[in-house]
Structure 1
Amino acid sequence: QVCAQLCRRPCYCPWVPPHCPRGSPLVLDGCGCCKICARRLGEPCDFLHICDQSQGLICDYSAASAGTGATCNFEDGEEGCEVNGQVYRDGEVFQPSCKLQCRCLDGGFTCVPLCQEDIR
């Protein structure tokens, strides 16, 4: 739970919950008060703005001491990649479409075609 100074009681939340980008679920903020969009891989985070735990992300404060803020990262510190709002772990193979097979590698991804182009 977040420090009492950061969480106002009663809660003051917008009437309409935010519209989240694809792949970012609506979650309760760190105060357990208002609905917010969960932060995704590489996005800034803090006590209030929490990471998408359904994707295995945590708020990583290890870089914060280097002068940058905390960011969402995998719990074990491995690199991952985000494609079309979906987070993949390093080494994971995925198909973003029926025509491509891709592999997440060191924060980026490479793809190979699954079918030949029909040239006429």
Structure 2
Amino acid sequence: MEQQHHLQHVPHQQPHHLLLLPCGRLLLLTLLVALEPRELAAWGTSVKYAVNCPERCDPVRCSATRCARTVLDDCGCCRVCAARRGEHCYRTVSGAHGVKCGPGLFCDFYKDEDEYGDEYGVCRDCMYGTYGVECRQTCNCKAGGLCDRETGACLTFKFLAKMANALKTHEGQ
């Protein structure tokens, strides 16, 4: 009976390694904020944004991809699964799958942000005359050829070539 009474009067004590004075907490917070992103990555944190790219690419650290189409992440290091036509896409995300549009598509961004404050949009086909990832490259197909939106190769169709030649002949008269 006496022992139970004694336990009620002993104040709860935390282990010494968990005790931090307010100034100690501030110091710890300051150190965490001051750490470089690559140092945080070494601690096993998940780095998702391109601004946190490693100094050197280590392909061994890239996750395996099991998808039909891949693109390089924004760091230019790891292959990630590409979003398809009509799927959502996000700006400046790296190392995350399905957030960058595949070749022949671009991200048509909305004016609004998602519930987390990230800019997002929908993957759409490249405009004619452009191709590649985010449609950044231009092609110049001659004689009625059409540009492949993924590779930039000029595709020629006899029907279009005949129309182009007929138009040139008509203009020359």
Query: TM-score of the superposition, structure 2-length normalised?
Result: 0.32
- The structure where strand makes up a greater share of residues is 1
Larger relative contact order, structure 1 or 2 (CA cutoff 8 Å, min sep 6): 1
For the pair shown, the structure with the greater C-alpha radius of gyration is 2
Between Structure 1 and Structure 2, the one with more helix by share is 2
Give TM-score scaled by structure 1 length: 0.43
